[in-house]
């Protein structure tokens, strides 16, 4: 069940949650790179990018993350909470914080494509592997 959703700033308590969602077998195919990430690698990455990630909570339960690194949005939703609007919520909320964002989405990741399109991202380029989206405010 989904309770009230909110985004909270990333902190050390969520570093491994982000890594675990990013590498979850039901999520990994949606990411550009499929690599194993050790605890130390994750903590090192988060030292550099901690402030670029936000955690989505349903009540007190973390259900997803969203981040903007180098103007590129990254997100994942806990597989137990997919198809409940959490991705759309997170993208909408992160745009309130950082509305200069793009997304590079694998062609086969239709769910992410729909999430970005619901949040006024427009596809401006497609190649053999990806759809590229840019946010258009005021649409």
Calculate the alpha carbon distances from 115 to 49, 56, 73, 131, 135 in Å.
23, 15, 12, 13, 12
Q: Give the contacts of 12 (CB within 8 A, at least 6 positions apart).
A: 43, 46, 50
Instruction: Look at residue 139 and tell me if it is in a domain.
Output: no
Domain count, the chain: 1
pLDDT at residue 2 in the model: 64
Instruction: Look at residue 120 and tell me if it is in a domain.
Output: no
Instruction: Look at residue 119 and tell me if it is in a domain.
Output: no
d(CA 43, CA 49): 10
pLDDT tens per residue across all 139 residues of the chain: 566 999 999 999 999 999 999 999 888 777 767 778 999 999 999 999 999 999 999 999 999 999 999 989 999 999 999 989 999 999 999 999 888 789 999 998 998 999 999 999 999 999 999 999 999 876 5
Instruction: Look at residue 132 and tell me if it is in a domain.
Output: no
Residue 86 lies in domain: 5-99
Q: What's the CATH number where 29 sits?
A: 3.40.630.30
């Amino acid at each position: 069940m989904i309770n009230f959703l909110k985004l909270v700033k990333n902190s050390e308590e969520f570093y491994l949650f982000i890594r675990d969602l990013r590498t979850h077998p039901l999520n990994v195919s949606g990411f550009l790179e499929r690599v194993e990430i050790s605890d130390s690698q994750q903590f090192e990455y988060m030292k550099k990018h901690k402030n670029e990630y936000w955690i989505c909570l349903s009540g007190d339960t973390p259900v997803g993350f969203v981040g903007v690194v180098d103007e590129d949005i990254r997100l994942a939703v806990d597989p137990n909470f997919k198809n409940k609007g959490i991705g759309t919520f997170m993208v909408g909320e992160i745009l309130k914080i950082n509305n200069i964002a793009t997304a590079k989405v694998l062609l086969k990741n239709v769910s992410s494509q729909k999430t970005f399109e619901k949040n006024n991202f427009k596809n401006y380029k497609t190649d053999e592997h990806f759809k590229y989206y840019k946010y258009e405010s005021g649409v």
